[in-house]
Amino acid sequence: MNTDAVAFNNFTRAFGGRKAVADLTFSFERGRIVGLLGPNGAGKSTAMRGLVGLLRPTSGSAEVFGKRFAELKDPARTVGVHMDGLGFETGITGRRHLEILSIAAGMPKSRPDELLDLVGLEDEGHKRVKQYSTGMRQRLGLAAALVGDPQLLVLDEPANGLDPEGIRWLRRFLRNEGDSGRSILVSSHQLGELEQIVDDIAVLKKTLLYFGSLDGLTGSGEHTLEDRYLDLVAGANGAGR
């Protein structure tokens, strides 16, 4: 059995001849929480979209559990995705949104209410999505990603729009999911929060600047994640001059 939850192999994606991501190669085993970091325009979303089949690489590959996303027999039960571009029908209720996804994934009728309770929207499921705040939509997006009880979560900036209480909730939520054995790939600009939950770090600026354990990057806490991240990005900027 393939032990890698995620594997990028020389993944490259170009738009109009310009590379958004070049020769990205890293992998991580099942049960790890991995933070994907990089400045705006670094290619994080491009890499994630390639991983979950929303775009094709120009060359190379991206695989989940040893297969390309298009080859998965039961994708909803394998990978849960939450990222921009995977929106909601705002005229229906949050519960109805989850109900539609649950039916498509072959999940029991109880699944929508379980998920609303899990993400703290148990009292908001009857409201139409257009009435949701940004933070509530983020929680609904997480619930949608979990519909099929997937082995892997791929989350692109899930903290966007969350207030401090919501960010603390998200930290605990992701750590609990990781402790339950779920694999997670998450991008975020909330470096202090990531530092409290991730096992490994990938730093990307079109090419991979670092991949390895959080402790390896920070010297087991001797340096902060923010300081080491900024050092890496500054070094890449200098190398590009």
Print the domain residue range for 97.
89-149
- Note whether residue 183 is domain-resident: no
CB 11 within 8 A of CB 202: no
What is the structure's pLDDT at 88?
80
What is the structure's pLDDT at 3?
76
pTM: 0.94
- Note whether residue 209 is domain-resident: no
Long-range CB contacts (within 8 A, 24+) of 177-181: 177/153, 178/31, 178/32, 178/33, 181/30, 181/31
How far is residue 79 CA from its own chain's centroid? 10
What is the structure's pLDDT at 1?
55
- Note whether residue 166 is domain-resident: no
- Note whether residue 31 is domain-resident: no
CB 205 within 8 A of CB 42: yes
Tokens found for residue 160: 């966007």
**How far, in Å, are 66, 86, 145 from residue 101 at the CA level?**
25, 13, 9
- Residue-wise pLDDT tens for the chain (241 aa)? 567 999 999 999 999 989 999 999 999 999 999 999 999 999 999 999 999 999 999 999 999 999 999 999 999 999 999 997 677 888 999 999 999 999 999 999 999 999 999 999 999 999 999 999 989 999 999 999 999 999 999 999 999 888 899 999 999 999 999 999 999 999 998 899 899 999 999 999 999 999 999 999 999 989 999 999 999 999 887 665 4
Place of tokens 């080491």: 228
Q: How many domains does the chain have?
A: 1
- Note whether residue 104 is domain-resident: yes
What is the structure's pLDDT at 197?
93
- Note whether residue 103 is domain-resident: yes
- Note whether residue 136 is domain-resident: yes
CB 206 within 8 A of CB 21: yes
Rounded to whole angstroms, the Cα distance separating 73 from 61 reads 18
- Note whether residue 20 is domain-resident: no
